[in-house]
C-alpha cells in the first residue's frame, strides 16, 4: 500500500511538472565569489572586447540571461544566507559576515531533498555551521585558500571535520571535487549540486597558467575612474557632510581612501605620481581579477564537458551566478558593499535546452531570496510559506508572472567596517529609480 501510494504521488508530481515542460531535471547551481556583470562578454560592458567569459557567454546565448537580479546585501555571507533560506537578512538573522546558518535553517537543500533529489554542496560555503542538510558536502573552511586549498568533507570525522589538503588552484580543485562527486553519485535520483568557486574574490590570485593572460593588453578603463572627490565629483553620500568623509569613505583604486592600500598590496610603486598611480593599480588589479575569471570560465567548460560526456547535458538545468557584484574601478571604487549598481547587481544565467528559449533576455526585478523558491519549484517541490522570495519558473519557461514586485529592498549593516569606510545604508530600487538612506556617523 505504501509503495502504491508513493507511486501515485510520484505520478501526480510528474504530471504537475510536465505541465511546465520540466520533469525533474538535474540542477547544477554554479556560484562564483565577486564575479560582477562588468566582467562578462555577454553583459556587454567595456570589458566585453577582451572576451573574458567565452564559455559562460555560450551558456547564456543558448539560454536566458537576466539583467535585473539583485542581492539584498552586497557581501558574501548575507547573500549566501538569503540564497539558502529564501529569506531577507532581517528574517534569517544573517546581517553581516559573523552570521551563520545552522542545518535546521538550510531550507533550500532540505526542500529539494524532500522532492526526491540527491543534494551536494562543494566549494566555498561561508555560513560557518555544518552544511548538514546536504546529502554530501566538501567545503572550504571560511574563505579558504586560493592555492593548495584544504576542504572539509562530510565523510571525514565530526564537524568541523578533519581537513584534506589538495594540490592546485582552488577553482581547479573545486571542479575536480564536483566531477568526482558527479561520477560516483547515486544515479537513480536527479541531483542538485551547488558548486561554489572561491574566485575571483580578493586578492585575485590566479592559477599559474594564466600568468601571461592579458599581460600585454591595455585593459579599458571606466570613463569615471578619475571622477574623484578632489576633482569635484561625488555626492553627499560619497563625500560626507561638508566633505567630512572624502578621505575615508569607500575603498578606492587611487590613494584617496587608502586604508586597504590596494596599490601596495598589488606591488605598485607608491612614489608614482597621479594619475599614473591610479592607472597602474587599475591595470594590475584588473589583470589579476580577469585571470581568476578566466580560470572560473574554463572550469565551467569542464563541468559542461562532463555533463555531455555522461549524456545528461540536455537534462540538466545549469544556473550561473555570483554572490554579488563588484566595483572594478568605476567611480574610483573597488570592492562591493554599496547599493550602487556595480555592487548590488548579480550576474544570472540559466541554461536548459528544450524548455528555455535560446538567446532570451529577461529584465524581471529579481532578488536573491527568489533563488530558493525557484529551484524548489523547478525540482517539483513545495515552496514553504516562510520563504519570502517568489519562484520565477514561469519566466524561465517564457510565460508571464501573475504578479511580481515593483521594487527590491537592500540593506548594508556593517557601518564603516573593515577600514573600507562604507556607511550602513538601506533602500529600494525600482526598474527606474533608487532611494537610499545612509547612516550618519
Query: Of 34 and 135, which CB lies nearer to Ca ion in the complex structure?
Result: 34
Least spacing, CB of residue 33 vs Ca ion, in Å = 4
The minimum distance between CB 292 and Ca ion, in angstroms, equals 13
Given the complex with Ca ion, which of 234 and 250 has the nearer CB atom?
250
Burial status of residue 437 (CB atoms within 10 A of its CB: 0-12, 13-18, 19 or more): middle
Question: E strands, 282-387, where?
Answer: 316-322, 327-328, 334-335, 348-351, 360-362, 366-367
CA distance 207 to 388: 39
Judged by CB, which is closer to Ca ion: 35, or 429?
A: 35
Q: How far is the CA of 422 from the CAs of 75, 229, 249, in angstroms? A: 12, 15, 6
Nearer to Ca ion, 65 or 76 (CB): 76
Nearer to Ca ion, 221 or 323 (CB): 323
Three cell numbers at 408?
A: 527590491
Closest CB to Ca ion among residues 106, 321: 321
What does the alpha-carbon distance between residue 372 and residue 390 come to, in Å, rounded to a whole number?
Answer: 8
CB of 321 to Ca ion, least distance (A): 11
State the nearest-atom distance from the C-beta of 236 to Ca ion, in Å.
28
Name the site residues for Ca ion (rule: CB under 5 A): 33-34, 76, 323
Least Cβ distance, residue 35 to Ca ion (angstroms):
9
40 with 61: CB under 8 angstroms? no
CB of 79 to Ca ion, least distance (A): 7
Work out the angle at residue 267's Cα, subtended by the Cα atoms of residues 266 and 273, and round it to the nearest 5 degrees: 105
Query: CA distances (Å), 190 to each of 90, 102, 133, 317, 379, in order?
Result: 33, 25, 17, 11, 9
Q: How many CB atoms lie within 10 A of CB 406?
A: 9
- Cβ–Cβ under 8 Å, residues 196 and 124: yes
C-alpha grid cell, residue 88: 531577507
Q: Residue 361, SS3?
A: strand
Cα 388-393-397 angle, rounded to 5 deg = 160
Q: At what angle do helices 276-310 and 170-184 cross, to 10 degrees?
A: 10
Q: Least distance to Ca ion from the beta carbon of 324, Å?
A: 5
> Residue 317's closest CA among 307, 328, 327?
307
122, β-bridge pairs: 138, 195
33 or 298: CB nearest Ca ion: 33
What is the smallest separation between the CB atom of 125 and Ca ion, expressed in angstroms?
A: 12
Kindly tell me which of 72 and 355 has the beta carbon lying closer to Ca ion: 72
Residues 303, 32 contacting (CB under 8 angstroms): no
Whichever of 199 and 376 has its CB closer to Ca ion, that residue is: 199
Q: Which residue is nearest to Ca ion (CB)?
A: 76
The tally of CA atoms less than 13 A away on the side-chain side of residue 295 is 32
Which C-beta is closer to Ca ion: that of 77 or that of 278? 77
Closest distance to Ca ion from the beta carbon of 344 (Å): 13
Least distance from Ca ion to the Cβ atom of residue 323, Å: 4
Grid cell 540564497 in the structure block, residue: 83
Amino acid at each position: 500500500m505504501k509503495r502504491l501510494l508513493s507511486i501515485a504521488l510520484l505520478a501526480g508530481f510528474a504530471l504537475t511538472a510536465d505541465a511546465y515542460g520540466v520533469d525533474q531535471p538535474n540542477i547544477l547551481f554554479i556560484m562564483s565569489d565577486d564575479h560582477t556583470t562588468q566582467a562578462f562578454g555577454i553583459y556587454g560592458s567595456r570589458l566585453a572586447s577582451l572576451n573574458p567569459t567565452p564559455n559562460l557567454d555560450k551558456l547564456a546565448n543558448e539560454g536566458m540571461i537576466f539583467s535585473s537580479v539583485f542581492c539584498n546585501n552586497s557581501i558574501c555571507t548575507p547573500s549566501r544566507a538569503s540564497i539558502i533560506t529564501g529569506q531577507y537578512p532581517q528574517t534569517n538573522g544573517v546581517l553581516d559576515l559573523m552570521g551563520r546558518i545552522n542545518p535546521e535553517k538550510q531550507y533550500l537543500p532540505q526542500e529539494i531533498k524532500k522532492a526526491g533529489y540527491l543534494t551536494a554542496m562543494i566549494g566555498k560555503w561561508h555560513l560557518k555551521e555544518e552544511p548538514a542538510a546536504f546529502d554530501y558536502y566538501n567545503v572550504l573552511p571560511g574563505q579558504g585558500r586560493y592555492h593548495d586549498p584544504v576542504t572539509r568533507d562530510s565523510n571525514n570525522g565530526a564537524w568541523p571535520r578533519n581537513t584534506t589538503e589538495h594540490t592546485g588552484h582552488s577553482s581547479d580543485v573545486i571542479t575536480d571535487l564536483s566531477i568526482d562527486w558527479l561520477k560516483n553519485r547515486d544515479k537513480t535520483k536527479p541531483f542538485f549540486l551547488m558548486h561554489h568557486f572561491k574566485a575571483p574574490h580578493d586578492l585575485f590570485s590566479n592559477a599559474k597558467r594564466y600568468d601571461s593572460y592579458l599581460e600585454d593588453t591595455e585593459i579599458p578603463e571606466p570613463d569615471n575612474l578619475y571622477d574623484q572627490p578632489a576633482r569635484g565629483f561625488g555626492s553627499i553620500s560619497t563625500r560626507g557632510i561638508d566633505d567630512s568623509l572624502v578621505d575615508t569613505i569607500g575603498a578606492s583604486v587611487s590613494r584617496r581612501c587608502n586604508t586597504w592600500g590596494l596599490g601596495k598590496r598589488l606591488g605598485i610603486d607608491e612614489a608614482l605620481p597621479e594619475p599614473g598611480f591610479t592607472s597602474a593599480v587599475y591595470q594590475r588589479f584588473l589583470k589579476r581579477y580577469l585571470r581568476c575569471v578566466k580560470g572560473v570560465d574554463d572550469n565551467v567548460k569542464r563541468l559542461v564537458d562532463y555533463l555531455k560526456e555522461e549524456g545528461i547535458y540536455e537534462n540538466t538545468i545549469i544556473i550561473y551566478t555570483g554572490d554579488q557584484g563588484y566595483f572594478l574601478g568605476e567611480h574610483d571604487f573597488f570592492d562591493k558593499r554599496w547599493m550602487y549598481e556595480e555592487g548590488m547587481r548579480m550576474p544570472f544565467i540559466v541554461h536548459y535546452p528544450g524548455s528555455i528559449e535560446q538567446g532570451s533576455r529577461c529584465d524581471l526585478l529579481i532578488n536573491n531570496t527568489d533563488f530558493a523558491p525557484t529551484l524548489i519549484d523547478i525540482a517539483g517541490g513545495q515552496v514553504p510559506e516562510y520563504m519570502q522570495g517568489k519562484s520565477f519558473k514561469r519566466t524561465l519557461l517564457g510565460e508571464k508572472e501573475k504578479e511580481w514586485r515593483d521594487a527590491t529592498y537592500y540593506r548594508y549593516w556593517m557601518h564603516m567596517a573593515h577600514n573600507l569606510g562604507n556607511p550602513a545604508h538601506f533602500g529600494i530600487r525600482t526598474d527606474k529609480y533608487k532611494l537610499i538612506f545612509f547612516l550618519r556617523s
